[in-house]
Amino acid sequence: MPGFESSTAADQRFTVNLSILFTELPLLERPAAAATAGFTAVELWWPWVDSPAPERSELDALKTAIEDAGVQLTGLNFYAGRLPGPDRGALSIPGEESERFRANIDVAADFARSLGCTALNALYGNRVDGVDPAEQDALALRNLVLAARAADRIGAVLLIEALNRPESPLYPLVSAPAAVGIVDKVNQATGLGNARFLMDLYHLSMNGEDLPAVIERYADRAGHVQIADNPGRGAPGTGTLPLEDLLDQLRKAGYEGPVGLEYKPGDRPSAEAFDWLPR
């Protein structure tokens, strides 16, 4: 597999998403596995898919595993339902799911603060049959305002992410402008200015967007970047995206934050899925 060669790409701060890589291991073993593979930073989807507020012992066990591994938690999703799975967030879904999201806000924020994590991702949620989209959008804005305030309380940014229509046909934010539009609404509603765009180059490519144009227009709005190759959502070099060039462009545009590796390792152990990286 071809690797990254340029010094700009080599200087990127790569962080491993432990909810899609190293999943062949139990959750509490993944931080140490990432450290052994040479990484100093990790990120996570909300690990307890059925519980927005797990027992303190479970939170403490994960915190200890991350600290003992010597890695930094750089990003954490709020509760978003079953990921991987059919759910794509909870905050815009009336009833039990949005209540679960609200119950998770302070739990996730306090857990993030305990580990020095300064980026919290709030997935918007699928459209629901029989519910007016305008009602869902109003509910989403109310909940995102609560999330932004919780993030501000711990000195964090609130991330808003665009997914892709082929894989998430019921998710309404399937373009960079759509996600950035929600960022603007949240910032206007709170006055805090801490909502930011999560620029996932895989999802945007699946939507057929012009990635260099997206970077040129929105690099200064990005609070986090994630990558996977396309097609296949595999490691860089397994598909056709010019990820090295795109990351170089991001750096030149002034983005200095982490780049999350959110790809599938394929039919091999995750520890073998990093041979594209500069060493």
Active site residues: 161, 262
DSSP string, 189-257: HHS---EEEEEEHHHHHHTT--HHHHHHHHGGGEEEEEE--TTTS-STTSSS--HHHHHHHHHHTT--S
What CA–CA distance (Å, rounded) separates 41 from 252? 22
Q: How far apart are CA 156 and CA 148, in angstroms?
A: 9
Q: What is the distance of C-alpha 17 from the center of its chain?
A: 8
Q: Where are the alpha helices (DSSP H) in the chain?
A: 7-10, 30-36, 56-69, 96-114, 133-153, 176-190, 201-206, 211-218, 243-252
- What lies within 8 Å, CB to CB, of 171 at 6+ separation is 88, 89, 124, 125, 126, 127, 163, 165
